[in-house]
Amino acid sequence: MAEFVFLNDRLVPAEEATVSVFDAGFTHAAGLFETMRAYNGHVLRLEQHLDRLIRSAATLELQMPAAIEAQVPSSQNDLKTAILSVLEANKLRDARLRLVITPGDVPRPGQSLEHRPPPTVLITASPLQPYPGTYYRGGMRVTICPYKISRTDPLAGHKTLAYLPRLLAMKDAADRGCQESLWFTTENFLAEGSVCNVFIISGGTIMTPPADTPILPGITRAIVMELSREGGAAVEERKIDINMLLAAEEVFLTGSIMEIMPVTSIEKHMVGDGSVGPLTQKVMELFRSFINKECGTDG
């Protein structure tokens, strides 16, 4: 079956989709993206994904489609329709979706700056490839990232196309026999994983770094905080240093594709007793029940 993507204003076969060699995303890694997950044909928290992209575009002063730039609700409806059309065209119900928006072509010498080039909008959908079940049952092994996040970096806390540092961190983790890499700030506080948010559990309290650490304000992160509080757990956003991380009774990661991922080892250090902790298991159960209710899945 032919794969379809949505490019700029229409669905096209993937092999026919082309982007200009002068596009700012290609030449300067200037652009934003969102990774979303569809369950049973329902894209989880789609509005929140689009809101986050709009906020980042405004903060980074990236040119976006006029309607999106102005945060007109109809523009979100247009993007929602486009996203759902990609799912339908590819006959997918459970999928990984990616929305990419760049400012379009970089103005070249001799071109008038009065006419801004149109932005590039690309939406793709592919069959979901979940993480191995053994990770959820036995936990991931993670490493400490050799690089650090600076609050003076204008890209920190945004999901941009400048992703090479994250890929290098993931390669370093793989070379160390780990599946993720935990980033700290230049001030030596825990920030996030390369592709996820981080939570620790200590004394029965679920803790995660605050958004201004800076970290990407994850969609699944927000859901977990909501569900945990509704379930009666104590949840705090607070600064976490290496000692707090290593002393944690439980650690877990969150992300749109991985959902809730337990961590049982930080390099050679065992987290807790080396098994998936009870509160992490409870969070996983709450999230699964939420997905079943929100998306009409059967678990």
Per-residue pLDDT for 227 more than 50? yes
Domain spans of the chain, in order of start: 4-127, 133-295
How much is the mean pLDDT over the chain? 92
pTM of the model: 0.94
Of 297, 276, 245, 265, the residue nearest 133 (C-alpha): 276
- pLDDT at 223 (0 to 100): 98
DSSP letter for 132, please: P
Return phi, psi of residue 123, to 5°.
-125, 125
Q: What is residue 141's three-state secondary structure?
A: strand
Q: Is 4-127 in CATH node 3.20.20.70?
A: no
pLDDT band at 186 (very low <50, low <70, confident <90, very high): very high
Per-residue pLDDT for 72 more than 90? no
Per-residue pLDDT for 49 more than 60? yes
Q: What is the mean pLDDT of residues 30-35?
A: 96
Beta-strand runs (E) in the chain: 4-7, 10-13, 32-39, 42-43, 95-102, 120-127, 140-149, 180-185, 190-193, 197-202, 205-208, 234-237, 250-255, 259-266, 269-270
- Cα angle value 75/76/79 (rounded, 5°): 90
Identify whether the C-beta of residue 204 lies closer than 8 Å to the C-beta of residue 166.
no
Q: What is the mean pLDDT of residues 102-111?
A: 81
75-92 tens-digit pLDDT: 556 888 999 999 999 999
Per-residue pLDDT for 297 more than 80? no
Q: 133-295: what fold?
A: D-amino Acid Aminotransferase; Chain A, domain 2 (3.20.10)
